[in-house]
Amino acid sequence: MARTVSNSAFIILQWSYSTTVTATLNAVNAYSEWAPLPDLAKSDAGVFPTF
């Protein structure tokens, strides 16, 4: 019985984690469509100046 409860709790925790990750990725995707970031590989953004 304890093993069944433990497995059920693990499945619920795993499902909760996967829904959180999916919601986060969907939010990032929606935000990136609304406010696209510049292509950092093609710009000088984030490059340290050389002296």
Q: What whole-number distance in Å separates Cα of residue 18 and Cα of residue 12?
A: 10
* Alpha helices per DSSP H over the chain: 2-34
Q: What whole-number distance in Å separates Cα of residue 6 and Cα of residue 14?
A: 12
3-class SS at 11? helix
Residues 6+ apart with CB under 8 A from 45: 38
pLDDT, one tens digit per residue, over 1-51 is 556 667 787 788 888 888 999 999 999 888 877 776 666 556 565 555 565
Q: What is the pLDDT of residue 24?
A: 93
